[in-house]
Amino acid sequence: AAILIQKWYRMYVARLEARRRYTWTIFQSIEYSGEQDQLKLHNFFNSMINQLKLDTDGQPKIARAFASSQRPAVVASETSDISGCIEGIEVESSYTGPHLTFPITHAQVKTLIQAFKAKRRLHVRYLLELLNETQKLFKQMKNINYASTSISKQITVCGDLHGKLEDLYMIFHKNGLPSVDNPFVFNGDFVDRGASSIEVSIILFACFLASPNEVFLNRGNHEDHVMNMRYGFMKEIIRKYKDYSTQVTKSFTEVFSWLPLATVIDDKVLVVHGGISQHVSLKSLARLDRHRVSRNESMICATLKQQYHLFLLTLQTVVSHNDCYGWSPVLSFLQFISVLRPPSLSEVSSLENVSLELQRLEEWKQNIFNDETNFLTLKPTFYVQVLDLLWSDPKSLMGCNPNTFRGGGCYFGPDITENFLEEHNFKLLIRSHECKPEGFEYNHDGKVLTIFSASNYYDIGSNKGAYAKLMGPDLTVHMVQFLAYQTGSVRKLTFTQRISCLEASAMQDLREKILTLKSDLMEEFKKHDTEETGTITIADWCSAMESVMDVDVPWRMLRSKLVKLNSDKRVNYESTFEELQIYHRYSEAIMEMLYRYKDSLETIFRIFDKDNSGFISMSEFTDACTLLTRHTSVNLSPNQVNDIAKSLDLNKDGQIDFNEFLEAFRIVDQKNLNTVSPRNTESEDIYDCASVNSFDEPMGVKRKITSNSELSNLET
């Protein structure tokens, strides 16, 4: 009997572990597929610019939207700063939020934290002043921070926070605020996805200003204007500072572009956001201007040969409508709009095209630095290095391989890590960039440490957060795990119940993704249903789901949760879409296509919406839909595009409120006839909360907590 009980228990635990793993895989695959779509979309922008209709000035509208003179991310003057955005903004007498004076003190940092706990918002003038002071200090810093523990004898390294303010509170609660004897490294991805990216950034920048020698901030792949357009930070700015959203967006992007790329601790440990590759050289990175690259005035334009399109497009270079790359001989300074795309100018199209031989273009590709000149020649490999630093992931395979899962950066193997550490005499590489169930993970025989500090990232209970304390002369690593919570918001769950809650949430996300691919799935199902019975075998259903969905999950195991079988044990494939249905109050005939690509459409929209007003013209929306159809290879006639535009122009003033368009989508649970809303990531008044006293105790259940709920006071 005891042997049977042990056998049953082991089978039970194995099934729970299988459910936990495929739940995690669903969350991660859907997250990374969004990043792939974003990179594909910008590759698409590059190749499509020369195919759009010209505006009245003879340039494609999308090219002008991307142009450095049009984007809020770019400041034209050589001494670009944020001070110009502050002029004319006064603090009203009715303002009840925190007040700031400069230089920032530790007392003011504590005041900010307490004000944010009380749901008070920092006035836009103080925000812009804070960003201006932060930018000034960043400008004085090199590309690579160098931190020392000679005084503190220890240092704390934190990973991604992604706008999760409760996690930052928890870190400060457990570890204390930054000080001379308590230095911190924050390893990028402060913003996007979470609801409090602005507040997280404000606190981190205030800590940096108060303790510039004890707080080290690295750039992550989400400290990027292109990523912010898709993953929520720009929407948060518009929501919280609508009247000044253009100035705030421009200022944040300026600050992000000055963030250092890496931190070296005691010449023993390297901290970067993503990873490394065979291209990465700290020596060459240290010599580059991360914000603006000086150019020789005699640069020329190159007419691209077909075989080089792919190479340059992977670097996210903007193509002008006359199909040439170039730089203005008048402007000697260029500035990054995004690390996903090298700098370009709207004046490119007016330059004289000069054809280059293939040999010359090949030389242009090489990573050659000319020490005899007073400027550093820009090479494509530099962008590859930056992308690899911010986007790469470690894998067990040897060498460097394309990061197909994310769509950017690379997979670097243990041999790359070994060679890099040996070359620079480092003992450890610390990086972030990946959510881990335990909040951290070692790779490459303990030589690579991943730290992720945003707990409950996918959903309540999905993962722990963690930070590392490097202590002593040998920088011995001590990991600290945590789960952010709010007092009074818990109901204890068993481990099995916790897995069931996470599984239900993951299945909701998976069903929504299935709905966006309904047409493709039906087409694939019917290939196996040659007799048009409406049923196929389980094996054929699994094969169809795997080929169309591109999500690596055990479809046979999930089959019972997604479809129904008939009496012959065959799958009724139309039942795959029974439980949920997309509803949209406009243009129902094409709602599936619009919902499937609404994130891409939103990104295109925000490029056109340069003043962040939330409105674009009818013609701009038509261009956006045209871009979308070409990007996705979806057949959408001009008449259908016009019908969509007209249906969205509710008051017939020629302007479209795109936010209303997005909010009009609804996912409806057909089984319960309830609207299923995605997990709230943007609400300022509702929080998903969990509570645990230790990791041996069950987790709390997800609940809605009003803004009146109080966090425990921060102990420092």
- Catalytic amino acids? 222
Residue 287, both tokens: 């010599």
Helix (H, G, I), strand (E, B) or coil at 263: strand
Residue 643, both tokens: 């019908």
DSSP designation for 338: B
Assess contact for 334 and 290: CB atoms under 8 A.
no
Considering only the C-alpha atoms of the chain, give the largest distance between any 2 of them, rounded to a whole number of Å: 87
- Which residues, 6+ apart, have CB-to-CB distance to 304 below 8 Å? 312, 319, 323, 324, 325, 361
Residue 304, both tokens: 């691209």
DSSP string, 617-664: EHHHHHHHHHHHHHHHT----HHHHHHHHHHH-TTSSSEEEHHHHHHT
Assess contact for 83 and 173: CB atoms under 8 A.
no
Assess contact for 591 and 582: CB atoms under 8 A.
yes
Helix (H, G, I), strand (E, B) or coil at 471: strand
Determine the Cα–Cα distance for residues 548 and 171; give it in Å rounded to an integer: 41
Helix (H, G, I), strand (E, B) or coil at 106: helix
Pairing mode of beta strands 564-565, 262-265: unpaired
For the CA atoms of the chain, what is the radius of gyration?
26
Ramachandran sector of residue 685 (left: φ over 0; alpha: ψ -120 to 50; beta: rest): alpha
CA dihedral (69, 75, 77, 78) in degrees, to 10, reads -120
Residue 505, both tokens: 């949430």
Closest CA to 46 of 375, 325, 284, 335: 325
Q: Is 546 exposed, middle or buried (0-12, 13-18, 19+ CB in 10 A)?
A: middle
DSSP designation for 413: -
